[in-house]
Amino acid sequence: MTDRTLLLRAYDEQLRTDAEMPGAVSVTRHGPLRLMTFGGGQGFVTYRDLGGADADEIARLVPKALTHYRADPGIERVEWKTRGHDHAPELHEALVGNGFVPGEPESIMVGDAAALTETPPPADVTLRRVTEEPDVRAMSAVQDEAFGEPTSERRADALLRRLALGDGMELWVAETEGRMVGAGRLEPVAGSDFAGIWGGATLERWRGRGIYRALTAARARSALARGKTLIHSDSTEYSRPILERSGFVRVSTTTPYVWRR
């Protein structure tokens, strides 16, 4: 088997399980689906596979899942996470027909954590973990700005709730010129070889200086210290080439479909 085949198998077997549930307020099973509710009015739909469902079965699954979230007035947004290698006939049509809007496809990248650890930050940039509420709120605002989103106190609240759980999530920031300019999250996956790197972002003015790579290296070192030997990331076209240069493999794609109340 190729490296890609082995890494994709590890991804499916170790990550598409209860490992996707850290921080969920509630989880409801509906057939092959896991319907998760997170703080901040967020719903999230995922699954190991769709159990061989045909187009007619999928056309019934989608509205039933959405009915679950419509019944909770606190839910403002639902993401249905698709993967490009799944057998899911006419899932796109079913999702769009029920009001979900597809986002940009991202690459699912998997590789050796040790391959990412060697990049230091630029001389005028410092990296650190944050745990205190003012820092977490500032970090969340940096990510919102970097991704072109309005500042969301609810997203910051959700990060603070996760930290309070003590489930291993780490928040990292990069600072220069007296302000935060980059941020990222590390998610060690219990009972697996994996940690995930998420939310990596640098403010536009400071891009192209190696800050993202340095934040990634800091998180990879922390993952190794926790005994996690593999890293996975859903990567944009900004971050995919950086990981590929370190030997990471694009094992599949993922496209988020989002419904908003």
Report the CATH fold assignment for 111-252.
Aminopeptidase (3.40.630)
Enumerate the domain spans of the chain: 3-107, 111-252
pLDDT at position 238 is: 83
pLDDT at position 9 is: 94
DSSP labels for the chain? --HHHHHHHHHHHHHSSGGG-TT-SEEEEETTEEEEEETTTEEEEE-S--TT--HHHHHHHHHHHHHHHHT-TT--EEEEEEETTS--TTHHHHHHHTT-EE---EEEEEEEGGGGTTPPPPTT-EEEE--SHHHHHHHHHHHHHHTT----HHHHHHHHHHHHHTSS-EEEEEEETTEEEEEEEEEE-TTSSEEEEEEEEE-GGGTTSSHHHHHHHHHHHHHHHTT--EEEEEE-TTTHHHHHHTT-EEEEEEEEEEEE-
pLDDT at position 40 is: 81
Is this structure's pTM higher than 0.95? no
Per-residue pLDDT of the chain (261 residues; tens, 9 = 90+): 568 999 999 999 999 877 777 778 899 999 999 999 988 889 999 999 999 999 999 999 999 999 999 999 999 999 999 999 999 999 999 999 999 999 999 999 999 999 999 889 999 999 999 999 999 999 999 999 999 988 989 889 989 988 998 889 999 999 999 899 999 999 999 889 999 999 899 999 999 999 999 999 999 999 999 999 999 999 988 889 989 998 899 999 999 999 999
pLDDT at position 135 is: 98
